[in-house]
Amino acid sequence: MKRYKAYCFDLDGTVYRGDEPILEAVEFVNKLTRSGINPFFVTNNASKTPAQLLAKLTSYGIKTSESQIMTSAIAASLFIKEQHPDARVYMIGEAGLHDALVSQELNLVEKDADVFVMGIDRDITYEKLARACVEVRNGAKFIATNSDKVFPTERGLIPGNGSFVALIEAATDVKALYIGKPQPHLLEAIMVKHGFTKEEMVMIGDNYTTDILAGINFGIDTVHVNTGVTSAEQVKQESAGPTYYLEDLSQWKI
C-alpha cells in the first residue's frame, strides 16, 4: 500500500466502538505517530469539542492534539466564516458547535439571523425548532453540520441530526446545505489548513455512505475497515468502491 502524508481516520467504528477502543486501530495510529506522522481524526459528531474528543483518544493511549481533530462543527464554522463572515448566526446544537462558532468569532443571535446552523441537540425543544423554522422562512441560510439520520447506541439506533434537519426541511420547504461526510468539506478544511495535495491524503473509515463516499467525492484514496457500520460484503455491492479493503488496521504494514 502507498505511503501518505495525511491519514484521516473516522472515529466511531474505526478507532473506537462507543466507549471501547479498537485495539488494532489504536496500535496503527501509534505506529504512525512513532514514525513521525501525525494522523487526523475526522468526525461528523458536532456535539463534542476537540478537547472532549482529545480526552477520549488520550484515554485509549493515543498521543495527538486538538489541532488534528476535524469535526463537522469546526468545518461548518469555517464555512460560515468564509462565506458569510459578518452573518448573524442562530444555532441549534451542543458545546461542540457552540465553541466552534465562538472560536471563529461569529455573531451568535437568538433572532433575525442571516444563517441558521443545525447540529445534534439532545436538549431539543419545540420552541427551538419553531424559532429555526421562522428564521429559515424569513430567509436565513440553512446549514446542517451533518446528515446522519440515526446513530448506533447500546439500546439500538436513535435519532441523529439528519432527522431533525429533515423536520425543518419539511416545515420550511428549504433544503439544508450539508457540511459533514459524505460532503468533502472536512477533508478540504484539512487540505487547505496544512497545504496537502490530494495524492498525499487518505480517508479511512467503516461507513460506506459517509467515510468512503466523502473520500471519493473529494477525490482521494480511501480505505474501508470492516470494524463498524458497513460490512465489506455490503461495500462490494457498490459501483464505486474504496481504494483498499482491510479487515482491521493490523493488516496495514507501514
Residues that bind Mg ion (CB under 5 A): 10, 12-13, 206-207, 228
Q: Which is nearer to Mg ion, 147 or 207 (CB)?
A: 207
Instruction: Name the pairing type of β-strands 40-43 and 69-71.
Output: parallel
Q: Which is nearer to Mg ion, 72 or 207 (CB)?
A: 207
Q: Which is nearer to Mg ion, 47 or 207 (CB)?
A: 207
Catalytic site residue 221? no
Phi, psi of 118 (to 5 degrees): -125, 125
Q: How far is the CB of 8 from Mg ion (least distance, A)?
A: 12
**CB-closest chain residue to Mg ion:** 13
Phi, psi of 56 (to 5 degrees): -65, -45
Q: How far is the CB of 110 from Mg ion (least distance, A)?
A: 34
Q: Which residues pair with 243 in a beta bridge?
A: none
Q: Do residues 164 and 118 touch, judged by C-beta distance below 8 A?
A: yes
For residue 42, the Cα-to-chain-centroid distance in whole angstroms is: 5
Q: How far is the CB of 146 from Mg ion (least distance, A)?
A: 12
Q: How far is the CB of 133 from Mg ion (least distance, A)?
A: 31
Catalytic site residue 12? yes
Q: Which is nearer to Mg ion, 12 or 99 (CB)?
A: 12
Q: Which is nearer to Mg ion, 135 or 206 (CB)?
A: 206
Angle at 83 between CA 77 and CA 84, to 5 degrees: 80
Q: How far is the CB of 36 from Mg ion (least distance, A)?
A: 26
- Give whole-number Cα distances, 133 to 130, 166, 201, in Å: 5, 12, 39
Angle at 55 between CA 50 and CA 57, to 5 degrees: 90
By three-state DSSP, how is residue 205 classified?
Answer: strand
Q: Which residue has the cell 466502538?
A: 17
d(CA 31, CA 29): 5
Q: Which residues pair with 42 in a beta bridge?
A: 70
Give the catalytic positions in this structure: 10, 12
